[in-house]
Amino acid sequence: MKTPPSRWTPNRRAFLKTVTAVGTAVSSVEIPLLARAQNVGIELSVGLIGVGVRGYELHEDLRRCKGVRVGGIADLSEHYFDRIKSRLQNPQTPLRYDYRRLLDDREIDAIIIAAPDHWHAPMTLDALAAGKDVYVEKPLTYSLQEAIQVRDKARETGRVTQVGYQRRSIEHFYRAREIVRSGILGEITQIQLWSSRNRATSPWRKYNDYNTEGLPAKSAAEHVDWPRFQANRPPRPYDPLRFFHWQCYEEYSTGIFGILMSHPLDAANLVMDLSVPDICAATGGVYRYKDGRTVPDICNALFNYPSRDLTVSFIGSSNNEYFSQEAQYRGTHGTLELTTSGLRVFAEKRNALFEKFVGRTATDRSSNLRSTPVFEQPAKSGSSTLAHLENFFDSVRSRGQCKAPVNEGFKAMVAVAMAIQSYKTQRTVRWDSGREAILG
């Protein structure tokens, strides 16, 4: 283990004196964590669990975070260990097969979880119990019951818990919220969400990145800790496809509903201040990539919010991207199109919305209102993942609320669980908020 910087010792001693003076009861495990969190000048040590496709991307942005060092990495693949070694800022960074070794390390302040969906909840719960702050990739968990457990544990421990919905760290999404709140779009009763893709190669049949197909050279059983990967699932013989392409299989993956739909749905929760939907009907199937996957590659979901006079519909397509949008907020006066690339506002006619953005004297716009936005704001350059990580670390230091807290991740996960249950049962389902259960 790398020796902490010399500046650590006096700060830690000063903190201990302060704690003693006020008579605060703090466990020996919590003292170093709190000391560093309350001093912005002290670098944070982070443990990263999972360095596959997404985890590798997170590591690249972690390298750019000021005042942060990677204190340990956990994964189950020899190939992914080999790949990350050349990117480590400290070649002596511990590499572990057992993620719990990171949780036992008292020098590590926070944990970043980029493991498959079925491990999000166990790892988050263990990290919270160990007194670590947690950044967990979306969706929050694999199932509804796990989401309840994680939410409750985060509340109980008071640890900072950020969910990887990085749209909440993109500036123009807040501009979109301002536009909606102003009422200038009129009465919004319908939101349409999309995830439209059409790729020559099968989605999620990749490793290293989103374009590298197949399996790595080191994909045989001796190169993978399959028993740990499968530990919370029924026993099955080693299958490299299930390990490296886990997104394709329902035992490990929330599929399009959790991995893709939950992003714009969480954004809608932010923009519209939505809660959990009351009703959901979903359908779909494996209609294009008949390659053994068990999660749908084509799917649709319809959510109803009767108390808000609102429906939210989602189209998940792996077959066509002609209308490559992400979200439309449709109001009686105008439409807001919102993507990670920016936002655009369209007027329904020459109304107050039109006049606000274009002006009363405009004479050449009324014939093409559907194709010409009256206002647009492109996204600022920069990595939204980096911004989201930095927001998390700021919250760890200040002990303040992060931009995608566990309560917001919980709302998105309930909607995901409703869509999955409706899809599997081919029945409309309802949310019982009193019992926190999905009925139907």
Tell me if 225 is assigned to some domain: no
Tell me if 210 is assigned to some domain: no
Asked if 331 and 394 sit in the same domain, the reply is no
pLDDT tens digits, one per residue of 210-225: 889 999 999 999 999 9
Asked if 191 and 319 sit in the same domain, the reply is yes
Asked if 421 and 346 sit in the same domain, the reply is yes
Pair 305, 286: CB distance under 8 Å = no
Cis peptide bond N-terminal to 378, omega within 30? no
The residue segments making up the domain with residue 55 are 27-168+388-406
At 434 the pLDDT is: 96
Asked if 181 and 284 sit in the same domain, the reply is yes
Asked if 72 and 195 sit in the same domain, the reply is no
Tell me if 325 is assigned to some domain: yes
How far apart (Å, rounded) are the C-alpha atoms in residues 61 and 65?
A: 7
Is pLDDT at 242 greater than 70 in this prediction?
yes
Report the CATH number at residue 374: 3.30.360.10
pLDDT tens digits, one per residue of 322-375: 877 899 999 999 999 999 999 999 998 888 888 888 875 555 555 577 788 999
Asked if 185 and 334 sit in the same domain, the reply is yes
At 2 the pLDDT is: 35
Tell me if 279 is assigned to some domain: yes
Tell me if 361 is assigned to some domain: yes
Total structural domains within the chain: 2
How far apart (Å, rounded) are the C-alpha atoms in residues 431 and 440?
A: 9
Report the CATH number at residue 40: 3.40.50.720
pLDDT tens digits, one per residue of 106-138: 999 999 999 999 999 999 999 999 999 999 999
At 10 the pLDDT is: 31
How far apart (Å, rounded) are the C-alpha atoms in residues 249 and 415?
A: 20
36-45, 65-74, 399-408: which has the minimum mean pLDDT? 36-45
Confidence of residue 151 (pLDDT cuts 50, 70, 90): very high
Confidence of residue 11 (pLDDT cuts 50, 70, 90): very low
At 221 the pLDDT is: 98
What is the pLDDT of the chain when averaged over all its residues? 90
Mean pLDDT across the stretch 177-188? 97
Asked if 82 and 129 sit in the same domain, the reply is yes
% of the chain residues with pLDDT over 90: 81
Beta strands across the sheet bearing 375-378: 375-378, 342-347, 334-339, 327-331, 188-196, 310-317, 298-305, 279-285, 429-432, 437-439
Asked if 335 and 431 sit in the same domain, the reply is yes
Asked if 156 and 257 sit in the same domain, the reply is no
Asked if 49 and 108 sit in the same domain, the reply is yes
Asked if 157 and 124 sit in the same domain, the reply is yes
Amino acid at 266: D
The residue among 19 and 389 whose pLDDT is bigger is 389
Asked if 372 and 260 sit in the same domain, the reply is yes
How far apart (Å, rounded) are the C-alpha atoms in residues 247 and 118?
A: 10
At 324 the pLDDT is: 76
% of the chain residues with pLDDT over 70: 89
